[in-house]
Amino acid sequence: MNTTTPMTATIYHNPDCGTSRNTLALIRHAGIEPTVIEYLRTPPSRKQLTKLIDEAMLKPREALREKGTPFAELGLDEAGITDDVIIDAMLQHPILINRPFVVTPRGTRLCRPSEVVLNILPPNLQPFTKEDGEVVVGREPLAIFPDADPR
C-alpha cells in the first residue's frame, strides 16, 4: 500500500447492531472514513455477496445469521441445504446476511467480534473503548486469522 494514499474501507453495516457499530467506530478510530453500505436498505447483488463471502474465506453457511431472522422458518437448519439455497435465501432476506463485512486493501473479513477488523486496518491503533466498555487496542492479528499480515 502506498503510504501517501489514505486507506479505503467499505463496511456492510446494520446501524441496529452493536457489533456493526463498534466495527464502524474502530475503522473511524483508525482515521479512515469508510463507505458505509446499509445492506438491509441496499442489499448486495449475488455477485457482490459471493465475492464478500469468498474473499473472507468463508462458506455461505458461515456467513448466515440465525438469530432474529427467518432462518428456521425457511428450513435453513435442515441437513443437505446447498450453498446456492443459502445464497438465494440471503438475497431474498438480507437480514440473513451476518454483519458486518468490511473490505480494505488488506482483505475482507466478517468482523465478528468487532476486533477482527484490526486484522485489515493499519497497525498500532491507540486504545479504543467499545460500547460495552471493553477496551481494545491495535495488536497482532487475532489468532483466528494467523495468516494475516501484521504490517
Q: Does domain 7-39+99-151 have CATH number 3.40.30.10?
A: yes
Q: What share of the chain is helix, strand, coil (3-state, %, to 5)?
A: 30, 15, 55
Locate cell 460500547: which residue?
Answer: 131
pLDDT at 9 over 80: yes
On the question of a common fold for 7-39+99-151 and 47-97, the answer reads yes
For residues 130 and 138, the model is more confident at: 130
Q: What is the mean pLDDT of residues 48-53?
A: 98
User: How far apart are the C-alpha atoms of 120 and 149, rounded to whole Å?
Assistant: 8
Domain residue limits, the chain: 7-39+99-151, 47-97
| pTM of the predicted protein model | 0.84
User: How far apart are the C-alpha atoms of 17 and 68, rounded to whole Å?
Assistant: 11
Among 9, 11, 17, 63, the one annotated catalytic: 17
Residue 27 near residue 9, CB atoms below 8 Å: yes
Architecture of domain 47-97: 3-Layer(aba) Sandwich (3.40)
111 is catalytic: no
